[in-house]
Chain A
């Protein structure tokens, strides 16, 4: 008598049900995962392309850029240049995972283990997701956003709404609070708030534009700076302080900002999130196989796609396009387990937890408390660096050659770790551009300043500044390291 969950490769709803149950048991007993309830949705390839176009969100407002994204991707898909992901998963409560109908039963099993348990547990437990996102309210909020923007299109015309969205999208990466946590609101409160805000704004002028001095001694106030401290969240600043922006436009900025904020942790934890999900599916698939619930054939198919996913091409390989977050993350999580279960002398020197009998606790701790940058800084082990043959390359703009600054040897491990962490941090961060002042008593120009060192693409910056100008309504300046741009005028060298 066979205990196999399935022996041929066609999926059925009954099989998915049985497999989910088996996986849930392993996730709970062997991995002690804490997850949101799961909602598995079977979709077609076309629907998967839709989901791609809207950053994987199930409900989204309409904008041409999503149409463009879809045109690009469906073109690549039709030409066979791109395979579709087998799954997509939404950080929501319940956690929604998409299963493609083209998947084989093996793939569905893998996807359920990977997304519905791996990613799901990550969403629920990782500190950045818990701090920055509201899994319970997101679907309601997205529906509200879609409805509101559709209403605006009806009331104010599609072109006017598109203009605001274009501008908001341009600075959406600079519309995220990195330092403090935004308040969470349910969709209904949100709607109520919006109406209140609209009423208020109609009655009231913004405080900073008060031209009647409150006291006769206001002469000193002219010299005080506004804002008192530089503001990193451009979208928020404009939403609150732009002199003449209509209420509905402010609301649209708010929607774009809220969604950017919701997506922010995903960009910060790509390596960890994928690494952890791979770690979970790897464990679960092996466990299913060991307990005789899946066949050897299923296991072979699993290995084929698993190795393809966690493959890291070498830097000189034609397929190389940066460090594969799946490969690095998976290797690191596997290594944490190895360091606990089977530590070497080297591991004991590097990691205080080496040899801890409870590897689950260590894996969970790593999954919960870090983001990519700090995760690499904390856990990238010499063994993983050796396995991946990592090396660091330095480029000085004045030299004619690149220089190898570290390789995977005793002298280089620490340097590699730090260099990679820095590289990840920079890749995850948009250029640091902050609002430094508003000329409240003069021509109301807005002054932005770049706070970090790396040069900006000037052409892009000028165009983006144009969008900022369209929202702000008055002149906008951007001071960069050695250059100053302004809108609506052309750039001038300082």
Chain B
């Protein structure tokens, strides 16, 4: 009468409801996420589940309900200790008690509900509507990458790719198909033989001649033997059964992109400047990793010399010294030539600096930039924490007149970084998609 089923493995089914809930309060979640991104530590935000409180009034479900706060009522209560009929009890001040009010489905009168966002959901909201600008499907002309993909099964191939399961299945099907007809025929013959033998016995019993029947019997036996041979001769496995897993080269468009992150770590970059720079790069880093699988990142730090470094070294960088910008630009150019030829890659460069540069270096920078820029999709230059525009920024702005790929911005406070980031990568004016 009873069956027991273990359902534990079938997992939860709340995802679709969860998704609809988040969709409903998306605007509010977004505001909350953006607020957190402005002030909080982004590393922490991106690594853990984030509970975000949403006021329940946003999620209120109205219905026709009674409101007994200002009505007459009678209630039965348990636990009488001393009351007698006719006793009176003074009402609480302000008439605030609403014992008759029907239970609200929101439960417990909490006016906030916490929606827990996973790190991915958090980042999705954080970077909602952002994309790499000017990304092109194929870098130049019709250059496409080829990729090996599984493409079904074929009857011919190298032994190493033989698919045993499929082969055995085909063999079995062939054996069944080829045997079925012959088996049926054999059965008919056996039946005929059996009835013939009965006839022979009958005739023998009546002492009649059986020579014709005997001949027919011999004939049948021969046919049966022949059929049995044929059935036996059907091979267990045949060349026609062989199946091979097929792989095929399929063209797939390149959306490879590389981002050069260039950060000034010279002595003039104080703690605050570095914090702003790291914040920007961290957002960039999370954004690219969340949205693009194929995006490569190159980290370059520079003071008077420039060097490529690891991610950890980049974000933990503490150095000092004077400032030269050109070595970083030159290094980027070299790395690009060697590893990321612009005809195959969408190349982006993001540079953050406080704008201090050795005066004579500006001309060198200008020269190299004008060579570099035509091969970049974009160059973002962010200047941090300056009272006024630096010479370097003015130089960049000048170059930007001729090269729209160069985009400059300034930020002086933590709160500026995220809005600035949004405006740089907003898809609204940029038609490109991945």
Contacts and interface: CB of A to CB of B under 8 A. Distances in A.
Contact of B5 (A40, A389, A455): A40
Contact of B81 (A94, A388, A389): A389
Contacts of B59: 64-65, 68
Contacts of A158: 20, 23
Given A64-B24, A162-B20, A455-B67, A13 B80 contact: no
Interface in B1-57: 1-8, 10-14, 16-24, 51, 56
B401 interface: no
Nearest to A68: B59
B21 A392 contact: no
Contacts of B68: 454-455
Interface stretch (A16-24, A125-133, A346-354, A355-363): A16-24
Contacts of B88: 401-404
A47 interface: yes
Contacts of A233: none
B147 to A, nearest CB: 32
Contacts of B75: 392-393, 395, 419, 423
B241 to A, nearest CB: 41
A404 B13 contact: no
Contact of B84 (A67, A407, A419, A456): A407
Contact of A407 (B10, B60, B85): B85
Interface string A398-428: 0011111111110110001001101100110
Interface in A282-331: 312-317, 320, 323
Q: What band does the interface of chain A fall in when counting residues whose beta carbon is under 8 Å from B?
A: 35 or more
Contacts of B71: 397, 454-455
A491 interface: no
Given A50-B14, A404-B87, A419 B107 contact: no
Interface string A184-206: 00000000000000000000000
Contact of A64 (B10, B20, B63, B79): B20
Contacts of B87: 403-404
A419 B61 contact: no
B159 interface: no
Interface stretch (A164-172, A207-215, A218-226, A246-254): A164-172
B84 A404 contact: yes
A21 B4 CA distance: 12
B86 to A, nearest CB: 6
27 contacts: A13-B6, A41-B4, A47-B11, A47-B12, A53-B14, A63-B20, A72-B107, A72-B113, A98-B7, A171-B63, A312-B78, A312-B79, A323-B76, A323-B78, A392-B76, A401-B91, A403-B86, A404-B86, A404-B87, A404-B88, A407-B84, A408-B80, A420-B76, A457-B67, A458-B67, A460-B67, A461-B65
When A and B form their complex, which 10 residue pairs have the shortest distance between CB atoms, in order from nearest?
A: A314-B79, A67-B21, A67-B17, A463-B62, A457-B67, A315-B77, A62-B16, A401-B88, A391-B80, A64-B20
Given A67-B17, A173-B64, A394-B72, 16 more contacts: A37-B1, A38-B2, A41-B5, A62-B20, A68-B21, A71-B18, A71-B116, A171-B63, A174-B64, A395-B72, A403-B86, A404-B83, A407-B80, A423-B76, A457-B65, A464-B63
